Structures are given as structure tokens and as C-alpha cells.
Amino acid sequence: MEQENEEATRKRSDDQQIRSKRKAMAHRRTSGSKLLMTVLYMVASCSAVPISDLLDRASQGSDKLHSLSTTLTQVLDSHFPPIGRVITPRPSTCHTSSLHTPNDKAQALQVSMGPAAQAISALPYRGGNDIGQDKISKLINFHFLMSCFRRDSHKIDSFLKVLRCRAAKMQPEMC
């Protein structure tokens, strides 16, 4: 008799554990469903930004960036004596010069948008953090890096404007 009572008690305990697990699983499913519904609601309520708007914003930002880099380069130029401009390296020796990118809008318009054009290349600056030992060399090297940045920002600006025109399916002459 005692053995039967123990078995009955164990069975009730097992049944309670099973019910408890089922209840927990049902609660998890309900929580998961609530999370899924919340995510779906958020996705449905958020409107997608059209690619043309994104390219417009990117083009405006790159235009501002190029304008700022041009202004800063001109300000730096005004602080250099004529001899200082002669010893400054040319932008053709920039660390990004090995990247084959169009220099202006006319060249960017000639780029086909095939798989090769969609590959992204990155060539980090390998000059280190120390751009000079004294004030003069630091100023010359900073001016050089700024002229590289100005040149590259012009390339980016031109290319984004061409992409914006292509996304709008405009004729190249209208870009």
C-alpha cells in the first residue's frame, strides 16, 4: 500500500511538472507572438525612404563636405609662403591615388555599373599618427593630407551626383 501511495505521489508530481512546463512553453509562445506582432507593427508603420531621396541627401552632404575641404585648403594656402607651396607634395601622391576612381563627372558618367563597379575597395592611410616632427613639417603634411581629402571629396561628390541622375533615369546631358 505504501508503495502505491509513493507511486501515486510521484505521478502527481510528474503531472504537475509537465503542466508547469506546458504553461511555461505557452507563456513563451505568447511572449514570442507579442514580440513578433510588435516588430511587424513597427515595420509596417515605418515608411521606407526612396533611393532617390537617399541619394539626394548623400549628394547634399558630399557637396557640403567638398565645400568645407575646399575652404580649409584655401585657408591653409593663404598661410603658406610661395616657397612652401612648392615643397608640398602633389595630390597625385596621395595614399588614395592607387584607387582607380573617376576624377570628375565626365569620367564618372563613363563608368558602367556592372559587378566590378559595385565592388568596394578601401586603402587606409598608412602614414601613422605622427605627421611631422616640427611645426613646419606638421603644417606641410597636414596641408598635403587636406589637399588629398579635397581631391577625394570632389571625386565622391561627382560620383554621387551621377548616381543620383542614374537613379532618376535622367539623360547624362541633364546631370
Query: Residue 102 belongs to a domain with what CATH number?
Result: 1.20.1250.10
Q: Are residues 83 and 127 in the same domain?
A: yes
Number of structural domains found in the chain: 2
Q: Are residues 13 and 71 in the same domain?
A: no
Q: Which of 142, 158, 52 minimizes the C-alpha distance to 109?
A: 158
- Please state the pTM of the whole predicted model: 0.54
Q: Are residues 134 and 93 in the same domain?
A: yes
Kindly state the cell numbers that stand for 4: 502505491
Cα distance between residue 149 and residue 121, in whole Å? 17
Are 132 and 140 spatial neighbours (Cβ–Cβ below 8 Å)? yes
Cα torsion 79, 83, 85, 90 to 10°: value is -160
pLDDT at 134 over 80: yes
Residue 122: band (very low, low, confident or very high) from pLDDT cuts 50, 70, 90:
very low
Q: Are residues 55 and 103 in the same domain?
A: yes
The boundaries of the domain holding residue 42 are: 1-46
Residue 30: band (very low, low, confident or very high) from pLDDT cuts 50, 70, 90:
low
Cα distance between residue 46 and residue 6, in whole Å? 60
